[in-house]
């Protein structure tokens, strides 16, 4: 009989500051805890999987609970998307990706401008929406791409779709990705296309693309693929892993589209892993410090869990987790160093099982490997026996 695992990353939905959060300026961060405390969103599906029993999350206790619950700590250095996703799949990083709080060095920008044949604007850390108001009109006048970064390891390029088509912008990103190696090997180069005519009216479009580093080691995706097990990414998973270990991908954009894509693949017969990223929590609400919007997005996803659970078969397993935090009630506009929640559900579960505090996100990779009969554990501990 086929086995299907659906691994869903609620991007940035952290579950409280890690012990080393102070080193990252994130002491007191608690994405889920603060949202639940301030907005009291209705999350019955996740609560019945044990969400409210995870330390420091809060919220309602299960009414008719069934599932497994816990949290996981990040052992890799950093708090960015690539680091978190790689660790979830068993690849831990000893050194963080480089960041540029004062912008990129002159030699980097000069080399990039020479490679693309034009000057650039910006080159400083900024909010992705604020920089469009700051430089969007100048970009329209000059045609120069807008380059910026953040507290994360990213080289972001924003271009108006009437100046540079998304395909041309992707080419600019590929050039940057080839240049940004060695000491300047940022985690991601991100294409940020936008539209609009003037300050205050610029809007980013859904045609964002991430150009990550190739994974620097082996992941559970590679192990599954080598064993002939089907692997599929939904959302920006293909970008984060550069398709390494993925047989198929649906680059859906936004939470609703990604859930729709997941439900579509759930109708198919296969033996394997479907890996989903729900980016809106992070990009639309966390970075923009929109507590209400974040709460509403959690409510929306919880309601759609009704459809997901209805589509699951007897031997299917659903795992919900996150890759880092982005507490909209915390200071700043960037990711926060947090535990991530861990929730699991299958039709055969009765009652609630505590998974505890896992020492590394990689326990998820070890668990998936064991479920598919693989020997690799990625230096982590499987919790398959608790399921």
Question: What is the DSSP pairing of strand 154-160 with strand 188-195?
Answer: parallel
Distance separating alpha carbons of residues 134 and 166, to the nearest angstrom: 21
Phi, psi of 212 (to 5 degrees): -90, 170
Question: What is the DSSP pairing of strand 209-212 with strand 203-204?
Answer: unpaired
Check whether 289 has a pLDDT greater than 80. Answer: yes
Tell me how crowded residue 289 is: count the other CB atoms within 10 A of its CB: 17
Which one, of 234, 275, 304, 294, lies nearest residue 365 by Cα? 275
Band (pLDDT 50/70/90 cuts) for residue 228 is: very high
Q: Chain-wide mean pLDDT for the chain?
A: 95
Band (pLDDT 50/70/90 cuts) for residue 359 is: very high
Q: What is the DSSP letter of 12?
A: T
Distance separating alpha carbons of residues 233 and 249, to the nearest angstrom: 5
Q: Check residue 69 and give its pLDDT.
A: 98
Helix (H, G, I), strand (E, B) or coil at 356: strand
Distance separating alpha carbons of residues 279 and 67, to the nearest angstrom: 24
Phi, psi of 363 (to 5 degrees): -60, -25
Could you read off the pLDDT of 98-116 as tens digits, one per residue? Answer: 999 999 999 999 999 999 9
Residue percentage of the chain with pLDDT more than 90: 92
Q: Check residue 351 and give its pLDDT.
A: 94
Q: Check residue 315 and give its pLDDT.
A: 92
Could you read off the pLDDT of 42-97 as tens digits, one per residue? Answer: 999 999 999 999 999 998 888 889 999 999 999 999 899 999 999 999 999 988 89
Q: Please report which residue ranges of the chain form alpha helices under DSSP H.
A: 31-39, 44-48, 81-88, 106-116, 130-142, 166-179, 220-226, 237-241, 255-266, 280, 291-311, 363-371
Question: Per the CATH hierarchy, to which homologous superfamily does domain 4-97+213-386 belong?
Answer: Alkaline Phosphatase, subunit A (3.40.720.10)
Residue 68 β-bridge partners: 344, 353
Phi, psi of 324 (to 5 degrees): 180, -175
Check whether 248 has a pLDDT greater than 60. Answer: yes
Residues 6 or more apart whose Cβ sits within 8 Å of residue 199: 133, 136, 137
Could you read off the pLDDT of 185-215 as tens digits, one per residue? Answer: 999 999 999 999 999 999 999 899 999 899 9
Longest CA pairwise span in the chain (Å): 62
Q: Check residue 333 and give its pLDDT.
A: 66
Helix (H, G, I), strand (E, B) or coil at 233: strand
The three-point CA angle 204-205-207 to 5° equals 130
Q: Check residue 1 and give its pLDDT.
A: 45
Residue 234 β-bridge partners: 250, 276
Distance separating alpha carbons of residues 6 and 8, to the nearest angstrom: 6
Q: What is the DSSP string of 267-330?
A: TS--SEEEEEEE-HIIIIIITTT-HHHHHHHHHHHHHHHHHHHHH--TT-EEEEE-SSB--TTS
**What are the angstrom distances between the C-alpha of 55 and each of 15, 163, 200, 272, 362?**
8, 49, 41, 31, 20
Residues 6 or more apart whose Cβ sits within 8 Å of residue 117: none
Q: Check residue 278 and give its pLDDT.
A: 98
Q: Are 291 and 37 in contact (CB under 8 A)?
A: no
Could you read off the pLDDT of 141-169 as tens digits, one per residue? Answer: 999 999 999 878 999 999 999 999 999 99
Check whether 349 has a pLDDT greater than 80. Answer: yes
Give me the mean pLDDT over the 220-249 stretch.
97
Check whether 2 has a pLDDT greater than 70. Answer: no
Residue percentage of the chain with pLDDT more than 70: 99
Domain boundaries, the chain: 4-97+213-386, 106-212
Tell me how crowded residue 256 is: count the other CB atoms within 10 A of its CB: 15
Secondary-structure class of domain 106-212 per CATH: alpha beta
């Amino acid at each position: 009989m086929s086995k299907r695992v659906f691994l869903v990353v609620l991007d940035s939905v952290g579950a409280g500051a890690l012990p080393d959060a102070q080193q990252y300026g994130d002491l007191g961060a608690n994405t889920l805890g603060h949202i639940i405390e301030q907005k009291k969103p209705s999350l019955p599906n996740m609560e019945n999987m044990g969400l409210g029993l995870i330390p420091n999350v809060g919220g309602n206790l299960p009414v008719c609970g069934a599932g497994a619950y816990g949290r996981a700590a990040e052992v890799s250095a950093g708090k960015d998307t690539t680091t978190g996703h790689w660790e979830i799949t068993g690849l831990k990083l000893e050194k963080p990706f480089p960041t540029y709080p004062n912008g990129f060095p002159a030699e980097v920008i000069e080399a990039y401008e020479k490679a693309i044949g034009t000057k650039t604007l910006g080159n400083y850390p900024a909010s992705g929406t604020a920089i469009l108001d700051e430089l969007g009109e100048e970009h329209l006048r000059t045609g120069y791409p807008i380059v910026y970064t953040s507290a994360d390891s990213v080289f972001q390029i924003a271009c108006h779709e009437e100046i540079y088509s998304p395909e041309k912008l992707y080419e600019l990103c590929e050039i940057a990705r080839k240049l940004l190696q060695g000491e300047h090997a940022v985690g991601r180069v991100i294409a940020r296309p936008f539209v609009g005519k003037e300050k205050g009216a610029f809007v980013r479009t859904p045609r964002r693309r991430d150009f990550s580093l190739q994974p620097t080691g082996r992941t559970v995706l590679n192990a599954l693929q080598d064993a002939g097990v089907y692997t599929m990414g939904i959302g920006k998973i293909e970008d984060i892993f550069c398709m390494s270990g993925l047989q198929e991908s649906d680059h859906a954009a936004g939470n609703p589209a990604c859930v729709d894509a997941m439900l579509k693949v759930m109708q198919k017969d296969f033996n394997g892993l479907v890996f989903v990223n729900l980016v809106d929590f992070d990009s639309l609400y966390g970075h923009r410090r929109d507590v209400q919007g974040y709460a509403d997005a959690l409510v929306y996803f919880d309601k759609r869990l009704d459809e997901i659970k209805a589509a699951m078969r007897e031997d299917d397993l659903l795992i919900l987790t996150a890759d880092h935090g982005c507490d909209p009630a915390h200071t700043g506009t960037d990711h926060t160093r947090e535990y991530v929640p861990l929730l699991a559900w299958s039709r055969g579960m009765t009652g609630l099982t505590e998974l505890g505090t896992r020492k590394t996100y990689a326990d998820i990779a070890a668990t998936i490997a064991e479920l598919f009969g693989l020997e690799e554990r990625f230096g982590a501990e499987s919790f398959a026996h608790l399921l």
